[in-house]
Amino acid sequence: MESWIRLLIRAQKPRGGEGDPTFGVDRDTRRLTGFSDAVFAISSTLLVLDIRLPAGTEHLGRDLLTLWPSYLAYAITFLLIGQTWVNHHLMFDHIRSIDRTILLLNTLLLLTAAFVPFTAETLARAFSSGQGERAATVFYGATFMVGAIFFNLIWHYARRGHRLLGDTITPEGASVVARRYLPAPFLTALGTGVGFILPELGVTMIALLIPLYWLSIPGEMPKASRNRGNAAKDHGQVEGQ
């Protein structure tokens, strides 16, 4: 991971000397987060379009029950996308400026997020037909694994030297967050590998990331709370003068 970060920082440096505006210019994060929110929202919404009604209604109840793989793939995938969006939101609460490298890494993360509905449909069809479950599980897990790698690269790049982070988090807090994010690619890879042998167990292991990464991260918000308290105190002192 560190070698990747060094390469990215080296690439981020202006090529034409100081003052060259072609690369590495700091930008506000609002457009990035707005676009990211839209991609996450569209990706999660598209999931339900892959659940298709049976052709007829003569045995509707039974036919609806046979769609359980689609329901399961929808629920797991929606929650995985949701937790990625939540942690992305929390991450950019602390990233105060961005450069082209962050834009690139975030675009690659969104590329995988937009691809997820296709992998979820593939998983549901494989389990519904009873054929290709291993390949579908590996395909599904690998997509989330790649997304987790890009997610980690964004945070590790932004926190290096605290260059792009604001004062809402300390370097120690940023390290705590990094340690919490880091296992995701490895855990997803583990579930993917197990899924090649036992597809049902592999999907279960990938789904276990849902409760793990919905939990709050210790030390994530206290600095922001103190800043708000200090700001309110300073505002009161100014008004009292």
CB within 8 Å of 98: residues ≥ 6 apart:
26, 27, 28, 29, 32, 106, 158, 164
For tokens 């602390």, the residue is 94
Residue 63, pLDDT score: 78
Residue 54, pLDDT score: 72
Phi, psi of 96 (to 5 degrees): -100, -20
CB within 8 Å of 53: residues ≥ 6 apart:
none
State the Cα–Cα distance between residues 105 and 173, nearest whole angstrom: 22
Q: Which of 79, 90, 91, 73 is nearest to 40 (CA)?
A: 79
Ranges of H-type helices in the chain:
2-12, 30-46, 60-65, 68-94, 100-129, 133-159, 171-181, 183-197, 199-207, 209-214, 222-240
Question: Cα 162–166–169 angle (5° rounding)?
Answer: 80
Judge contact between 77 and 120, C-beta under 8 A. yes
Burial letters 23-43, b for 16+ CB under 10 A, else e: eeeeeebeebbeebeebbeeb
State the Cα–Cα distance between residues 152 and 181, nearest whole angstrom: 6
As beta bridge partners, residue 165 has 95
Judge contact between 94 and 181, C-beta under 8 A. no
Judge contact between 24 and 15, C-beta under 8 A. no
State the Cα–Cα distance between residues 42 and 115, nearest whole angstrom: 11
pTM, 2 dp: 0.78
pLDDT in tens, the chain (241 residues): 555 555 555 544 544 434 444 444 556 788 999 999 999 999 999 999 888 877 767 777 887 888 898 999 999 999 999 999 999 999 999 998 889 999 999 999 999 999 999 999 999 999 998 999 999 999 999 999 999 999 999 999 999 888 899 888 888 889 999 999 999 999 999 999 999 999 999 999 999 999 988 877 765 564 544 444 444 444 445 445 4
